[in-house]
Chain A
Amino acid sequence: MLLPDRSFDAIVIGGGHNGLVAAAYLGKAGRRVLLLEASPNLGGPLATAEITPDYRVSTGAHLIDMLPRRVEKDLKLAKHGLRYAARYVPTIALNPTNGHLVLSRRKRDLELLRKKSPRDADAYLAFTKRMRSHAALLSPFLDETPFALGGEGARAAFRKIVWRSQRLNAASREALLHDLPGSIGDLLDDTFETSILKGALALEALLGTVAGPFDAGTVLRSIYRKAQRLAGIGTSMPEGGMGAFIDALAAAAMDMGVAIRTSSPVARILVEDDIAVGVETAAGEIFHAPLVLSSAHPRATMIGLLGANRIDAGLAARLSRASTRGATAKLNLALSGLPTIQGLAPAEYGARLIVAPSLADVQEAYAQSKQGLFASNPVMEVTIPSVADPTLAPPSHHVMSILIQYVPYEAAGGWADSRDRLIDRVIETLSIYAPDLKSRIIAGELLLPADLERKFGLPGGDWHHGELRADQLLMHRPVPALAQYRTPIAGLYLCGAGSHPGGGVTGMAGRLAAKAALAERRRA
């Protein structure tokens, strides 16, 4: 791309979805923005790539379920080419023995559950209502810059929580106090008796973490995700895979005047008198701007690009200690035909399929991952995107996208020998449901946590740039001193998943960071 000038109003480091959203919002506010992406492609793990020629699949995440309607509307993503192959994708818990379960509040779906357990059907309604009520309490905080610890903001935030909780009835308040600190496993055990239901709900709460189902704090995480979903457009599958979502974001950004350069890794952030003045790329090019927003991992930004010598030691230590671990791997398969999943209606092949038959399976997979082993019975989230989106594979051929939970970052004995065994294990497990799967596999690719780290700059293989757990959320994300997106260097902001409200395909960190940067610029 031809760049007539090397001076901009703002530079955004990193072309993942948060970087693109931040750049687009800055552009929308009339700023001249340059976005620099290290790799040849935008989107990082949100991409559509070929497994083998003609078979394309979403590289990392495979569903959009938390993208706020507001971001979609503000950036006119539909106008910029975002189409959905499927909206409101249902979730189906696969049952190895009899009767899969559609997780939904719809009467028709609840009847399936009622057949298994009348008690659980009622409990499910009560449970989802309860979680939704908890989430509603949290959701206003997801839409704004977190308050600062030890300031007037903290007091205001507490007032807000108290005020909102006053509108709850006594039962909901008691439920909140009971549920919040606990573990999802205990809560599910308390609430339900159907093991397939418990397994699926546990996996839904835990996908993307390294925490086990019986770890304290996992209910909070579940509520947090629920709150993010409340503001979202509903579980959707973009036509053309997640890469198409990124293309639409990039088109929106460019429409708002953002200049995008790929294959331009930033080597360092330039600072004069503690004020950010621009960046220098690895190729030695220098770009100037009074605003620099980084969507890279907070640690990579502050210690790698800025330099530990420019920040206080306590802050650097805190950043380097913030937990950033992932235990989710991705297996993408190219298939010569649709595998037959026993007991699944033809219309249900496009659903989000959960393979977690019981809480015990989830706990076992977690326990094994702690020892550097992968599970004997892996727990997974599976989609066959080509069912709803035929553009992804040749006619009557398909692609399958599998998120495998609890794959350790480091395998006991190293991954070199274990890679193929993990693939075999996953396919064996899926063959319980789809016996003809193996015969249909043409090609596949496996992305382990370490591959995600290497390919997409996700330290520890953490999709969220820092674990989403109670002590790393809100005003603690990524660390208290940086929770308001700004840094000790004037003009430098964090706008990635490492900042509030965290990972997941929301773009909210980018949006809120852009908002914070614009507000401060105006004041200055």
Chain B
Amino acid sequence: MSDDAETIPLGPEPAADAPAVDAPAADASVPEGLIAPAEPASEDARPAGMAAFADTVRADPALFEHAPVEPPFARHVLTSPLHMNVAMESRTNLWTHWNGYTAADILTNIEDEYRALRHAAAISDISPLVKYRISGREALAYLTRLVADNPAGLSVDDAAPVVFCEDRGFVVGDGLLFRLGEEEYRLVTEETHLGWLLDSAIGFAVQVDDVSSTLAGLSLQGPLSARILALAGFADIETLRPYAARWFQVAAMPVYVSRTGSSGDLGYELWVDPEDAQPVWAHLLTHGAPLGLAAGGFALRELARIEAGIARAGRDYLGAFSAVDDDSASTPYELGLAALVDLDHGHFTGRDALRAAKAAPPRHILATLAIDWREPLNFTGIHAGGLVAGIATSTAFSPSLETNLALAMLKPSALAKGAMLHIEAEVRRGFELRRLKVPARIVAGPVLSLPARHLVPAPAGPKP
């Protein structure tokens, strides 16, 4: 306790030679003892103003105590480092769970959040994403064998979407791979993959660490996101290319900013130390609020990524180790991720199987559907000519397009020329129920991909 007391500036000396009677005064349970100095004489020795100052800065010594060590896995409800900030923004108290973390579902209402995202910018907490640090002499060789694309072209401070498969070519997961240094990478994924990453490390001089809890993430997406960052002191942010990343120093806090995100629009993700997450969040809101920046929840993230046509692991497809049988697992080709597969860059896990899978007809295909109905619908089955032709894995109502969207796992028959797809939904009006049969159409590519996403320099407005 005496060590802790010494860290308090201007406090009375917790003298080692103090009489035994005074000892309880230094105890944490009696903080008054510190606030009211035991020896008035020492206070007299200081200027009066200084004494007042000392009283205000002196904090509860309990703050300086070490938190009791929590046994691993003791908690099942995890909170992000930004939990309090997000809670402050909540007007609804609607929460959901994301990778074991408590995450805001809707903070105000989805329309307002959506309007901010598409017309100004939205900030959200993405700390629950899973993050792995991959480092070591053979990190590149390891990743070359892990992911289906060739990671050799990835330069330092660059990121690339990747997909990784198991031996039979089924997708284990997908994510974003950052190269942080010559021999240091970060893999950000939706689901946990530590077992597979460690299995893949056998025979490589590489270290794989789960850094999920020691790295906080903020997502700033929307047309004004570059402008807000520029105002907040991220110098030359507009020069950052899509998928590139850079270190910034903001208010003495190191922030790693990448021009990434799943909104289909201009956007950035900020990776910070958990201790800096709250000030960075506050800093961005302070500078962004006048421009219309609002906080968004998980529902907004889902809506935006469905508009952008991005599948989410565990929701739109099952990883190879989550799938109960082979029919529930998917190859990258079946998920529309063929662009992330390079069969000729050298050996990677699943390559031989994927060579065969590429030639074979897909067993199912993940596609985006538009269901033209001007209010939100609930549906699951996708039908074609009286038969079930697929299943909607994610659905959302796009306010800007005024249509229902779905990511759906379709049977190949659904893609046949002239196949007429429709969904069946029940709509309630008061106590009346109507059965609807609404045509669905397959949308090639993302429904929403805004040009600002690719612009360099990014639209950041006049230099502040």
Residues of A whose CB lies within 8 Å of any CB of B are 274, 303, 307-317, 320, 481, 488
Contact = CB atoms under 8 A, between A and B. Distances in A.
A355 B351 CA distance: 54
B347 A313 contact: no
B70 interface: no
A308 B202 contact: yes
Interface string B129-149: 000000000000100111000
14 contacts: A303-B202, A307-B203, A308-B145, A308-B203, A309-B141, A312-B350, A313-B166, A313-B200, A313-B349, A314-B167, A314-B349, A315-B167, A316-B203, A317-B199
B196 A313 contact: yes
A320 B199 CA distance: 9
Nearest to B168: A314
Given A309-B204, A317-B202, 8 more contacts: A274-B347, A303-B202, A309-B203, A311-B347, A312-B166, A312-B350, A313-B145, A314-B166
Q: Which 7 residue pairs across A and B have the least CB separation, nearest first?
A: A308-B203, A314-B167, A317-B199, A313-B200, A312-B167, A313-B349, A312-B349
B352 interface: yes
Interface majority SS (helix, strand, loop, mixed), chain A: helix
Contact of B145 (A309, A317, A488): A309
Contact of B202 (A313, A481, A488): A313
Contact of B199 (A303, A310, A314, A481): A314
B250 to A, nearest CB: 39
Residue picked from A309, A312, A320, A488, most chain B C-beta under 10 Å: A312
A313 B144 contact: no
Contacts of A481: 167
A307 B141 CA distance: 11
Interface string B378-410: 000000000000000000000000000000000
A303 B167 contact: no
Contacts of B349: 312-314
Contact of A309 (B144, B196, B350, B352): B144
Contacts of B141: 309
Contacts of A488: 352
Interface residues of B, number: 18
Contacts of B203: 303, 307-309, 316, 320
Interface in B188-231: 196, 199-200, 202-204
B199 A313 contact: yes
Contacts of A312: 166-167, 349-352
A312 B203 CA distance: 11
A481 B204 CA distance: 21
Nearest to B346: A309
Interface of B: 141, 144-146, 166-167, 196, 199-200, 202-204, 346-347, 349-352
Contacts of A313: 145-146, 166-167, 196, 199-200, 202, 349
Contacts, number: 48
Residue picked from B144, B203, B347, B349, most chain A C-beta under 10 Å: B203
B167 A308 contact: no
B173 to A, nearest CB: 13
A307 B347 CA distance: 11
Contacts of A303: 202-203
Contact of B347 (A310, A314, A317, A320): A310
A316 B197 CA distance: 12
A303 B203 CA distance: 6
A423 B204 CA distance: 40
A488 B203 CA distance: 17
B347 A309 contact: yes
Contacts of B144: 309
Nearest to A307: B203
Residue picked from B144, B199, B204, B347, most chain A C-beta under 10 Å: B347
Contacts of A314: 166-167, 199, 349
A7 to B, nearest CB: 25
Contact of A320 (B166, B202, B346): B202
A103 B200 CA distance: 50
B405 to A, nearest CB: 36
Contacts of A311: 347
A388 B449 CA distance: 87
A476 to B, nearest CB: 16
Nearest to B142: A309
Contacts of B204: 308-309
Contacts of A316: 199-200, 202-203
B99 to A, nearest CB: 23
Contacts of B196: 313
A303 B196 CA distance: 17
Nearest to B203: A308
A443 B254 CA distance: 69
Nearest to B198: A317
B142 to A, nearest CB: 8
Contacts of A308: 145, 202-204
Contacts of B351: 312
Nearest to A274: B347
Residue picked from A311, A316, A481, most chain B C-beta under 10 Å: A316
Nearest to A310: B347
A312 B146 CA distance: 9
Contacts of B145: 308-309, 313
A414 B199 CA distance: 30
A488 B347 CA distance: 11
B163 to A, nearest CB: 14
Contacts of A307: 203
Contacts of A315: 167
Contacts of B202: 303, 308, 313, 316-317, 320
Residue picked from A308, A481, A488, most chain B C-beta under 10 Å: A308
Nearest to B195: A317
A311 B352 CA distance: 10
Contacts of A274: 347
A306 to B, nearest CB: 10
A30 to B, nearest CB: 31
Contacts of B166: 312-314
Residue picked from B167, B196, B351, most chain A C-beta under 10 Å: B167
A459 B328 CA distance: 38
Nearest to A481: B167
A409 to B, nearest CB: 21
A163 B146 CA distance: 45
A488 B349 CA distance: 12
A184 to B, nearest CB: 34
Nearest to B145: A309
A303 B146 CA distance: 15
B48 to A, nearest CB: 69
Contacts of A317: 199-200, 202
B166 to A, nearest CB: 5
A370 to B, nearest CB: 27
B175 to A, nearest CB: 16
A314 B350 CA distance: 9
A331 B348 CA distance: 46
A488 B196 CA distance: 21
Nearest to B166: A314
Contacts of A310: 347
Contacts of A309: 141, 144-145, 203-204, 346-347
B420 to A, nearest CB: 39
A317 B202 CA distance: 7
B290 to A, nearest CB: 50
A317 B199 CA distance: 5
Contacts of B167: 312-315, 481
A17 B146 CA distance: 37
